[in-house]
């Protein structure tokens, strides 16, 4: 049997851990969703060292040929993310999907003896206390972002009646999140802001891992090329692109007519596709290799209207040496300094001025490029990241074994 290193002076476990992993998304190497790529990277690494089973919610359009090699899998076909999570229909769809996850998880737990259950994504984390109570097994939550945090951002953009509904949802979500996170044996996240929120909420220090990201291969720069990237089936992405097209682009074109704005990402809705003119605006749709366009752009813009957690698109742009212009939502969770690692902008005028400044000054673009790459290489180094996650799993199981031994010794 493979043995693990000593951890914090605690005794070694002699056996390979058996882990049940529950996820909202099927972890896929080429997932259109950033979180799916992060999930794939870490689960694939863990599955090479430990014994793993997987239960995940699969979208009808998702292909699963590139999932990690694990012991067994249960995929649940569910149309979540088709309807927004803040709509009644969307909530019902999610309740049904998460109930199925709970049912299959408990069934698996009763059939097989797991050392640990790992819950990935906020709403899946809600299942933790029930699994601990009914399945008698410890759990770790992998927090990509906080649902209550995402709702807080959405509330700012809504009308009064919708603000009231979302405020109620936020209060409920926050209570469930806090309840499940406090009972968790370990917390994992991928950005420093979420770690701070978790610490403030639960008193627990989360393990902060670097989000798995890809570096886009740079090619000869295309003069005037600007890019925005994301899964366009998500309303926050395509609406952010539309906001930029309507409010920022005309101001830039009036000064630099040859500007070309690439909106890169799969599933663009008709509302976004209608802006495609092939001249100043190019809506690409799904690309097998987005770097073919992203790698030649001079600027990456991130005018996100709302969101929570780390934005992988921003991390990848910075790591690839493409100067980034982003707002507070886009940069949250990344300890980057405005004016040094990226150009900060909030309003349409600020975005337009930033683009014009960078387009007209190659030296400034080069400065942002070099500083951003250095920061990403230092801050989000992926080396040994998977081992840190595995060490946490062993530490959690060790704590349970030690606590059980103490109880047994007292009872004697």
What's the DSSP call for residue 201?
H
Q: Kindly give, in sequence order, each residue whose CB lies less than 8 Å from that of residue 339, ignoring residues fewer than 6 positions away.
A: none
SS3 270: helix
Please give the DSSP secondary-structure letter assigned to residue 323. Answer: -
> pTM of this prediction?
0.85
pLDDT at 59: 84
d(C-alpha 216, C-alpha 291), whole Å: 5
Residue 311 in contact with residue 288, Cβ under 8 Å? no
Give the pLDDT confidence score for residue 386 in this predicted structure: 95
The H-or-E segment that residue 13 falls in is: none
pLDDT beneath 70: ranges in the chain: 1-14, 157, 403-412
Going along the chain from its start, the domains and CATH numbers come out as: 18-212+383-411 (3.40.50.2000), 225-379 (3.40.50.2000)
Dihedral of CA atoms 9, 10, 12, 13 in degrees, nearest 10, equals -160
What's the confidence (pLDDT) of residue 288? 85
């Amino acid at each position: 049997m493979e043995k693990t290193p000593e951890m914090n002076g605690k005794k070694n476990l002699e056996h390979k851990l058996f882990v049940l992993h529950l996820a909202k998304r099927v972890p896929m190497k080429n997932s259109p969703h950033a979180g799916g790529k992060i999930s794939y990277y870490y689960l694939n690494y863990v599955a090479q060292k430990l014994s793993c089973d997987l239960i995940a919610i699969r979208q009808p359009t998702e292909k699963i040929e590139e999932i990690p090699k694990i012991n067994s899998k249960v995929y649940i076909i569910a149309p979540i993310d088709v309807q927004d999570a803040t709509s009644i229909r969307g909530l019902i769809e999610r309740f049904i999907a998460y109930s199925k996850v709970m049912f299959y998880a408990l069934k698996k737990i009763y059939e097989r003896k797991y050392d640990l259950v790992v819950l990935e994504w906020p709403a899946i984390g809600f299942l933790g206390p029930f699994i601990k109570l009914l399945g008698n097994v410890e759990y770790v939550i992998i927090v990509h972002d906080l649902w209550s945090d995402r709702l807080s951002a959405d509330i700012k953009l809504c009308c009064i009646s919708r603000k009231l509904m979302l405020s109620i949802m936020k209060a409920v979500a926050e209570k469930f999140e806090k309840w499940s996170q406090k009972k968790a044996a370990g917390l994992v996240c991928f950005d420093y802001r979420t770690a701070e929120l978790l610490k403030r909420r639960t008193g627990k220090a989360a393990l902060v891992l670097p989000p798995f990201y890809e570096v886009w291969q740079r090619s000869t720069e295309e003069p005037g090329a600007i890019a925005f990237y994301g899964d366009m089936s998500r309303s926050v992405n395509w609406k952010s692109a539309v906001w930029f097209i309507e409010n920022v682009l005309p101001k830039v074109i009036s000064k630099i007519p040859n500007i070309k704005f690439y909106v890169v990402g799969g599933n663009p809705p008709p509302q976004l596709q209608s802006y495609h003119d092939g001249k100043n605006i190019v809506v690409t749709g799904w690309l097998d290799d987005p770097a073919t366009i992203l790698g030649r752009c001079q600027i990456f813009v991130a005018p996100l209207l709302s969101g929570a957690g780390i934005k992988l698109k921003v991390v990848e742009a910075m790591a690839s040496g493409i100067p980034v212009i982003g707002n507070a939502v886009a940069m949250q969770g990344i300890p980057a300094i405005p004016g040094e690692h990226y150009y900060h902008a909030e309003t349409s005028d600020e975005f337009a001025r930033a683009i014009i400044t960078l387009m007209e000054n190659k030296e400034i673009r080069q400065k942002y490029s070099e500083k951003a790459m250095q920061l990403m290489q230092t801050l989000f180094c992926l080396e040994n990241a998977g081992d840190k996650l595995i060490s946490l799993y062993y530490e959690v199981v060790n704590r349970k074994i030690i606590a059980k031994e103490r109880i047994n010794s007292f009872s004697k």
